[in-house]
Amino acid sequence: MFKWQDMIGGCFGSADKKFAGHPNDIERAIDLLKECNKNCIPLSELSKEIDTYLKNSLDFSSKDNSRQKEIQNHIDSELNKVKEKFEFWLD
């Protein structure tokens, strides 16, 4: 069964995990926005799912504290990008 959460990964670069950094990622981000809007998904829920996706994709479970901090900084930066682009429509 299709879930909007399954669309999140396509909005991020496969190597750098940056949000909508490539034209194809932008198209998929727009599709995700449409799906979230259609299903009344608030930005807070989308952000929570993106946080989970990025933590799983970037090995946040690493025991290295400096690596965890680096990953968290990246996640925070990408969540800010999502908020900037989507908050008008989802909140």
Task: State pLDDT tens for residues 32-89.
Answer: 999 999 999 999 999 999 999 999 999 888 788 898 999 999 999 999 999 999 999 9
Across the chain, where does the E strand assignment appear? none
The radius of gyration of the chain's CA atoms, rounded to the nearest angstrom, is: 13
- How many Cα atoms within 13 Å fall on the side-chain side of residue 14? 1
Its pTM stands at 0.93
Please list the residues that pair with 19 across neighbouring strands. 12
